Amino acid sequence: MDAGGNVGRRMDRADEGCAYQALEFASPGETVFWRNPDSNLEYAITPANLTRRDGRECREYKTSVLGGSVSEKGSSGLACRNSNGAWVIE
C-alpha cells in the first residue's frame, strides 16, 4: 500500500502496515499517529467515511509526516478495497 504522494514514498513495510490498520479500523475523522524508530519519522493518517465507488468500498484520507528535515502535511488520497479485501491506493 502506498499512502499517497511524497508521504507514501517515505514509508517502509511497517509504516504501510500502520496505514492499513488505520484505514481498516479508525473511525471517520479519527487521526492515527505512529513513529517509525528506524527512520525517526512521525506519521499521521485520518480516514474519512466509508463510501462506495464502482461497487467497491472506499475511504478518502489525509496523511502527514514529520521528522528531521521532513514536514509534509495535508496530502490526501483515496483507498479502495480490491477483490481480496485489501486496501489499495487509487
DSSP 85: S
In a domain, 47, yes or no: yes
Which residue in this structure is represented by grid cell 479508525?
A: 26
In a domain, 74, yes or no: yes
Parallel, antiparallel, or unpaired for β 87-89 and 56-67? unpaired
In a domain, 90, yes or no: no
Domain that holds residue 44: 5-85
In this prediction the pTM is 0.82
Looking at the structure of the chain, the number of domains it has is: 1
Q: What is the pLDDT of residue 82?
A: 92
Cell readout for 81 is 478495497
Helix (H, G, I), strand (E, B) or coil at 30: coil
At 5-25, the pLDDT tens digits run: 445 566 888 888 999 999 999
Q: What is the pLDDT of residue 2?
A: 45
Encoded amino acid at 19, one letter: A
pLDDT at 84 over 80: yes
Q: Report how far residue 62's alpha carbon sits from residue 64's, in angstroms, rounded to the nearest whole number.
A: 7
